[in-house]
Amino acid sequence: MKVRMLTRIALFSLIIPAVGVSSAKAQSLTFEQARTAMDAAEAEARRNQWNLTILIVDADGVPIYLRRMDGASPRTQDVATRKVQTALASGMHTGDYGAALAAGRTAEVPNGVTFEGGYLVRLGGQIVGAMSASGASGAEDAQVVRAGMAAIGAQP
């Protein structure tokens, strides 16, 4: 069984270069970038006296950084999680996804969030993750996320 699996792995590693798939690692969001974005987002929330949960995930949706500020409802963690999942699944910011869904231009994402505050994080034109905030209005959540993204030079 082990020999069979190792043979498959070896064959797969030979096939990948043959079909032209690059072995170069795609750019990813680092912990330091996530911390910088998180600090800037939290500062924006504090300036406005909004108690939020802020979440940053990598391109696979794996959490890198989560902060739930004092006073943020426990429910905000679930909403922040659904926002990043919606952004990654739809390939759109959650506000854009909501508009596209209402206009019939996109398929529904299961448990998708249709209001603002969930953003794809792009660096160098490549999606490297997603960031969201929850606990204020959608527009206020979005303002906080954009402040965090600006701190690392990410395109909204």
> What is the per-residue pLDDT across 52-87, written as a single tens digit (0 to 9) for each?
999 999 999 999 999 999 999 999 999 999 999 999
| Closest to 119 in 3D by CA, of 72, 155, 65 | 155
Instruction: Give, to the nearest 10 degrees, the angle between helix 94-102 and helix 138-151.
Output: 130
What is the C-alpha to C-alpha distance for residues 38 and 156, in angstroms, rounded to an integer? 15
Helices 138-151, 31-47: axis angle to 10 degrees equals 130
Q: What is the pLDDT of residue 80?
A: 98
For range 125-138, the mean pLDDT: 97
Question: What's the whole-number mean pLDDT along residues 43-55?
Answer: 98
78, 66 Cβ separation under 8 angstroms: no
Instruction: Please identify, in words, the CATH class of the domain defined by 25-151.
Output: alpha beta
Is the model's pLDDT at 17 over the cut of 60?
no
For 40, the token pair is 């800037």
Average pLDDT, integer, range 119-135: 96
Strands annotated E in the chain: 53-58, 63-68, 118-123, 126-134
The beta-strand segments (E) located in 8-77 are: 53-58, 63-68
Percentage of the chain lying above the pLDDT 70 cut: 83
pLDDT of residue 26: 59
Three-state DSSP class for residue 123: strand
User: Taking phi first (over 0 means left), then psi (-120 to 50 degrees means alpha), and beta for anything else, what does residue 128 get?
Assistant: alpha
Spell out the domain ranges in the chain. Answer: 25-151
pTM (predicted TM-score): 0.82
Do strands 53-58 and 63-68 pair parallel, antiparallel, or not at all (unpaired)?
antiparallel
